[in-house]
Structure 1
Amino acid sequence: MRIVTGATGKWSSDTPTPIASYTAIGDSFTEGVGDPGPDGVFAGWADRLALLLAERAADGFRYANLAVRGRLLDQIVAEQVPRAKELAPELVTFCAGGNDILRPGSDPDALADRYEAALTELLTTVGTVVVCTGFDTRNFPLLRHLRGRIATYNGHLRAVADRHGCPVLDLWSLRAVQDRRAWDEDRLHLSPEGHRRVAMRAAEVLGIEPPTSPDEPWPAAPGAAATSRRDDLYWARQYLLPWIGRRLRGESSGDHVQAKRPDLLPLRTPEP
């Protein structure tokens, strides 16, 4: 039986106790970009995980999501980690570093050192912190060259998690997201179904049996994973060139964006 000990108690992956409060920190992945909700606000895997946790908890489950798209690791550490420490929830998911890895010349060794320092701070007030690895980009031609850097960073994150007794949300090994249908048309963010698959895997990591398996086979769809040259050109015009332009201007998609749930507030499960 694996026991994770934090500032407010301990958690077992075999017989987990219901979690009463959860805070998500990170970038666009955790904000939920690519998974629009009915109210126009992005939902995403963290919101979906929060609903699963709320179903298991007694009345009064509380949830905060501090993630903001475009944030680099140091911005997350400066802006979100102190707030998460202040909220002191039982559970935090800490996904950060992906936007840094996309930058030329980024150093995964140095990133991991800064991540570990922030994790150590979080564990002074947070019960359990879930460490999130990066995705495998083998099936994404324009991002394939980043695989080595992502793998190096992931190796550090797993070692960090081992040193601090933290559970790991291993996205590299999640085979379901290797299907193109798991990704939004911008090829950088998950689709609604991709977010749902990640939420199911996160539930498994926390010892919760999800409604469906995260690796449930995709329905047959001939040609779904293939893209034509015309598709690639459209994607480059619509998404790649604007992204490069923002980098050159020193802008971020998250400029002027605020966290969607900055406080630990009650979260009600949908009516049946």
Structure 2
Amino acid sequence: MTTHPYTRYVAIGDSQTEGIGDGDDLHGYRGWADRLAEILADGHPDFTYANLAVRGKVTAQIRAEQLGPALALKPDLVTVMAGMNDLVRPGFDAERVAGDIEEMFARLTESGARVATVTFPDLGKVSPLARRALPRVLDLNARLCAAADRHGVAVLDTFPHPVTADPRLWSLDRMHAGPLGHARIASGMACTLGLPGHDDWAAPLPRLAPVSALRTASGDARWAVAFLGPWAWRRLRGRSSGDGRTAKRPEPTPWARPHVARPHVSGSQGEAEGRAGFPGG
């Protein structure tokens, strides 16, 4: 049992918080927020948890669609993870994105909730799609940390830790954490919130064997066919992986790891896209 003051946790965000990469649409998604809830629920029978995150949402949509419902649930702990889907899109505006995030920080902390957030790792070391995004990542991380400091928001700063860009922490689409990555984020968030026993969340993994340039290029080519092409096609059509979807856990309920979480989506197209595991939150 871990001692902490939290009784009602609400998570808001995009696919990372929904748990994409840690499960599937058929059997359900776990994800770092579920894993954090499991840690917080240990020995706390009155603890409840809601997850309002929906894949594919940009920061403005998270603010518009999830902030109000989160406040209405009167949480004493809220995690905010937003910005990934903005970073990988043309026309990224760091000031606008950071402004939306800061508004969420302000309103949530004003409600009396403890708020925590996460910075972005060096995504270019994980995904070819993000190799030119480093200036964006650094800019948004700096703005996010400054906003967090102004509002007393706890920050899990992933960027300085090399393990967060280790491919073994990421799923095949290279845009979502895999099970190990989600577990590390949950542990890191627990550490950030002051829970004991999680100081080693950023410990490095055993060294990988060297990979030839040819094998790397071949892997990148397969990734582009399997994930980048379909993702770009969806962008061109103005579609999102979140179209027709709703939150997987819209009400605070006692923690219990579900056997199956059915897809919260309307229409066969959304189901097909969910199974395909497209990159982007």
The equivalent of 1:217 in structure 2 is 204
The equivalent of 1:131 in structure 2 is 117
CA distance in 2, matches of 1:16, 1:86: 26
Counterparts in 2 of 1:221 and 1:118: CA distance versus 1, 3 Å: closer
User: Is 1:94 aligned to 2:80, yes or no?
Assistant: yes
1:119-162 Cα offsets, whole Å, 9 max, x none, are 21222324211122222124134312111111111111111111
Give the number of aligned pairs.
255
The equivalent of 2:264 in structure 1 is none
1:165-215 Cα offsets, whole Å, 9 max, x none, are 111121212322221111101111111001111111101000012357212
Counterparts in 2 of 1:155 and 1:185: CA distance versus 1, 3 Å: same
User: Is 1:74 aligned to 2:82, yes or no?
Assistant: no
The equivalent of 1:230 in structure 2 is 218
User: Is 1:200 aligned to 2:190, yes or no?
Assistant: no
For residues 97-136 of structure 1, the aligned pairs below 5 Å read 97-136=83-122
Counterparts in 2 of 1:84 and 1:177: CA distance versus 1, 3 Å: same
Amino acid at match of 2:72: E
Does structure 1 conserve the Cα–Cα contact (< 8 Å) formed by 2:31 and 2:183?
yes
Does structure 2 conserve the Cα–Cα contact (< 8 Å) formed by 1:64 and 1:263?
yes
User: Is 1:187 aligned to 2:147, yes or no?
Assistant: no
For residues 9-88 of structure 1, the aligned pairs below 5 Å read 17-36=4-23, 40-56=27-43, 58-88=44-74
CA distance in 2, matches of 1:31, 1:145: 26
Larger helix fraction of residues: 2
The equivalent of 1:160 in structure 2 is 147
The equivalent of 2:275 in structure 1 is none
Amino acid at match of 1:216: A
TM-score (norm 1): 0.87
Q: Quote how far apart the aligned CAs of 1:50 are.
A: 0.6
User: Is 1:247 aligned to 2:247, yes or no?
Assistant: no
Does structure 1 conserve the Cα–Cα contact (< 8 Å) formed by 2:162 and 2:204?
no
Does structure 1 conserve the Cα–Cα contact (< 8 Å) formed by 2:124 and 2:131?
yes
CA distance in 1, matches of 2:241, 2:92: 20
Q: Quote how far apart the aligned CAs of 1:223 are.
A: 4.1
Amino acid at match of 2:12: I
1:31-80 Cα offsets, whole Å, 9 max, x none, are 11000179711111111011111115x31210001111100111101111
**Aligned equivalent of 1:260, options 248, 251, 264:** 248
Amino acid at match of 1:206: L
TM-score (norm 2): 0.84
CA distance in 2, matches of 1:212, 1:181: 20
Task: Tell which deviates more after alignment, 205-214 or 158-167.
Answer: 205-214
Structure 1: unaligned runs, 5 residues or longer: 1-14
Does structure 2 conserve the Cα–Cα contact (< 8 Å) formed by 1:18 and 1:53?
no
- Identity rate of aligned residues, in percent? 43
Q: What is the root-mean-square deviation in Å for CA atoms of aligned residues?
A: 2.3
CA distance in 2, matches of 1:264, 1:199: 19
Q: Secondary structure at the match of 1:254?
A: coil
